[in-house]
Structure 1
Amino acid sequence: MKYGLAVLALLFGQQALAAWLQICPAGDDAASSRYEVQMLRPDGSELRASISDTLPSPRCENKVLELSAQDVVGLRPITPAQAAQPGSPFALSGKTQDSRFLITEIIAAETSSAPAPATLPLPLGHNLLNQLNAATFGAENRVNARLQQGRLSMQCSPGGQPAGVVLSAPSSYLPRARSQLQIRGNGNGSFEIVAVSAAQAARDAGSHLGYFEARPSDLTQAYALDKVAARSDWRHWTIACPAGSAQLQLDSLLLLPQATTVPSRAAWVWQAAQWQQKPEAVLALARKYALGTLYITVPVAAGAVHQPDRLAAFIRRAGAAGIAVWAVDGDPNMVQLKERPATLARARAYSRFNSAMPPGARLRGVQFDVEPYLLAGYEMAAAAWDQRYVELVKSLHDNSDMALEMVVPFWWAGKPALLDSIAPWLSGLVVMDYRTDPEEIYRFAATFLDWGDRHGKSVRVALEAGPIALETRYRYEPAAAGELWQVLLGKQYFLLVLRRPMENPHGIALRALGTHNITGSATSFYGDTASLLRQLPELESVFSAWPSFAGMALHEIK
Structure 2
Amino acid sequence: MGDASLQSEAVPHRSAGNMRLLKGMWIWNTAQLIVDNTQIDRFLSAAASINLTDVYLYVAPQWYNEKGPDIASFNARVNASGIRVWALDGEVDYIDDMTAEEKFMDGLRGLARFNSCVQPGARFHGFQADIEPQDNAGHEGYFHNGIPESKLTEEQHTQRDILMHKWLNVMTRASALLRSYELPFGAAMPFWLHDYEGEPVTVPWGSSYSDDGSPARTCIQDLIMPLLDEYVIMSYNTDPANAASRVLQQARYASAKALEGCKMPRVLGSLETERGAGRNVSYGDTPGKEFKTAVLNDIGTIEEMLQKYPAFHGMAIHHWAAWDKLPL
For the aligned pair, the TM-score class normalised by the smaller chain equals 0.7 to 0.9
Q: Which amino acid aligns with 2:21?
A: P
The aligned counterpart of 2:279 is: 521
Instruction: Give the number of aligned pairs.
Output: 264
* Partners of 2:6 and 2:305 within 8 A in 1: no
- CA distance in 2 between partners of 1:368 and 1:299 (Å): 11
Specify the SS of the correspondent of 1:524. Answer: coil
Specify the SS of the correspondent of 2:35. Answer: helix
- Calculate the TM-score normalised by the size of structure 1: 0.44
Instruction: Flag the structure with larger Rg.
Output: 1
Write out aligned runs for 1:283-322 (5 A): 283-301=44-62, 304-322=64-82
Instruction: Rate the CA distance shift 1:444–1:259 in 2: closer, same or farther, 3 A.
Output: farther
- CA distance in 1 between partners of 2:225 and 2:295 (Å): 30
143, 163, 176: which one pairs with 1:378? 143
- Alignment partner of 1:123 is 2:11: no
* Partners of 2:90 and 2:129 within 8 A in 1: yes
The aligned counterpart of 1:547 is: 310
- Alignment partner of 1:269 is 2:50: no
Instruction: Rate the CA distance shift 1:403–1:436 in 2: closer, same or farther, 3 A.
Output: same
- CA distance in 2 between partners of 1:439 and 1:259 (Å): 24
414, 428, 442: which one pairs with 2:244? 442
- Alignment partner of 1:350 is 2:103: no
Cα shift at 1:464: 0.7
Cα shift at 1:275: 2.9
- CA distance in 1 between partners of 2:133 and 2:33 (Å): 28
320, 326, 346: which one pairs with 2:86? 326
Q: Percent identity?
A: 23
- CA distance in 1 between partners of 2:11 and 2:53 (Å): 26
* Partners of 2:44 and 2:78 within 8 A in 1: yes
- Alignment partner of 1:468 is 2:276: yes
* 1:48-80 CA-partner distances (Å, limit 9, x unpaired): xxxxxxxxxxxxxxxxxxxxxxxxxxxxxxxxx
Q: Which amino acid aligns with 2:313?
A: A
Q: Which amino acid aligns with 1:467?
A: R
Write out aligned runs for 1:122-271 (5 A): 122-124=5-7, 128=8, 174=9, 176-178=11-13, 260-271=18-29
Instruction: Rate the CA distance shift 1:356–1:417 in 2: closer, same or farther, 3 A.
Output: same
* Partners of 2:236 and 2:281 within 8 A in 1: yes
Cα shift at 1:347: 1.2
Specify the SS of the correspondent of 1:378. Answer: coil
- CA distance in 2 between partners of 1:423 and 1:330 (Å): 18
Write out aligned runs for 1:378-457 (5 A): 378-379=143-144, 380=156, 381-400=159-178, 401=181, 402-414=183-195, 415=201, 417-453=219-255, 454=257, 455-457=263-265
* 1:465-504 CA-partner distances (Å, limit 9, x unpaired): 11235xxxxxxxxxxxxxxxxxxxxxxxxxxxxxxxxxxx
Instruction: Rate the CA distance shift 1:264–1:423 in 2: closer, same or farther, 3 A.
Output: closer
Cα shift at 1:343: 1.1
* Partners of 2:193 and 2:219 within 8 A in 1: no
* Partners of 1:259 and 1:542 within 8 A in 2: no
* Partners of 2:6 and 2:306 within 8 A in 1: no
The aligned counterpart of 1:26 is: none
* Partners of 1:175 and 1:446 within 8 A in 2: no
The aligned counterpart of 2:211 is: none
Higher strand residue share: 1
Cα shift at 1:444: 1.3
* 1:98-152 CA-partner distances (Å, limit 9, x unpaired): xxxxxxxxxxxxxxxxxxxxxx56122xxx5xxxxxxxxxxxxxxxxxxxxxxxx
Q: CA RMSD in A?
A: 2.4
* 1:436-481 CA-partner distances (Å, limit 9, x unpaired): 1122112111111123322431111111111235xxxxxxxxxxxx
Structure with larger RCO (C-alpha < 8 A, sep 6+): 2
- CA distance in 2 between partners of 1:392 and 1:363 (Å): 21
Instruction: Rate the CA distance shift 1:177–1:539 in 2: closer, same or farther, 3 A.
Output: farther
* Partners of 1:430 and 1:462 within 8 A in 2: yes
- CA distance in 1 between partners of 2:309 and 2:120 (Å): 30
* Partners of 1:276 and 1:310 within 8 A in 2: yes
Higher helix residue share: 2
Cα shift at 1:406: 1.3
Specify the SS of the correspondent of 2:6. Answer: coil
- CA distance in 2 between partners of 1:282 and 1:299 (Å): 21
Cα shift at 1:341: 1.1
The aligned counterpart of 1:146 is: none
Write out aligned runs for 1:501-512 (5 A): none
- CA distance in 2 between partners of 1:444 and 1:300 (Å): 31
Q: Which amino acid aligns with 2:25?
A: A
* Partners of 2:56 and 2:88 within 8 A in 1: yes
Stretches of structure 1 that go unaligned for 5 or more consecutive residues are: 1-119, 129-173, 180-256, 470-519
* 1:528-557 CA-partner distances (Å, limit 9, x unpaired): 223222212222233222222222101132
- Alignment partner of 1:281 is 2:42: yes
Stretches of structure 2 that go unaligned for 5 or more consecutive residues are: 145-155, 196-200, 202-217, 258-262
Write out aligned runs for 1:3-42 (5 A): none
Q: Which amino acid aligns with 2:193?
A: W
* 1:395-448 CA-partner distances (Å, limit 9, x unpaired): 112333221111111112324721121233211211000111122112111111
The aligned counterpart of 2:150 is: none
Specify the SS of the correspondent of 1:430. Answer: strand
- Calculate the TM-score normalised by the size of structure 2: 0.73
Q: Which amino acid aligns with 2:55?
A: L
Q: Which amino acid aligns with 1:344?
A: M
Specify the SS of the correspondent of 1:450. Answer: helix
